[in-house]
Amino acid sequence: MLEERGLKAGEFIEISRHLVEEQWVPANGARVVAKGLDRTPAFRQRLFANGRAAVTELGIEMPRHHRHLVVLENTPAVHNVICCTLCSCTAFTVIGLPPDWYKDLEYRARVVRESRTVLKEMGLDLAPEIEVRVWDTTADTRYVVLPVQPPHTIGWPEDKLAAIVTKDSMIGVARL
């Protein structure tokens, strides 16, 4: 029926499959994180000043409606975690499509109210003195967490560092 009306459903499905499986992958964000940790100080500054422009430098495109990409820096004293309380929005071209648990209503509601408990249930037990900040995506703003770099990885080449970055660490529910 779609093709009778001039719409090429098969073509659309193939293009979408390619995007999801080959372009919107966590490896994009892993490259951003690796470059933003200790490899390139000038890039790191640009990443915090204008995340969208910085990731574009690496060939990562973002949809027009993702007008802002805010990069949140985890530190020894502050831990950031992202969510979307309305649906399941992420910076999908950077970190890949959201995991199933991220889309779950329970995660979306509880991470805001009980962030420390939810993180602990997911395997991340933070010390009480670490401040937890929860960031909720909006219609035009997406977030990515820049995790704390493990000390033993200082000086690693960018590709080796990128290999340890996970989608969960870029959402803020895990550490490197």
Catalytic residues: 84, 87-89
Q: For the chain, what is the HEC assignment?
A: CCHHHCCCHHHHHHHHHHHHHHHCCHHHHHHHHHHHHHHCHHHHHHHHHCHHHHHHHCCCCCCCCCCEEEEEECCCCEEEEEECCCCCCCCHHHHCCCCHHHHCHHHHHHHHHCHHHHHHHCCCCCCCCCEEEEEECCCCEEEEEECCCCHHHCCCCHHHHHCCCCHHHHHCCCCC
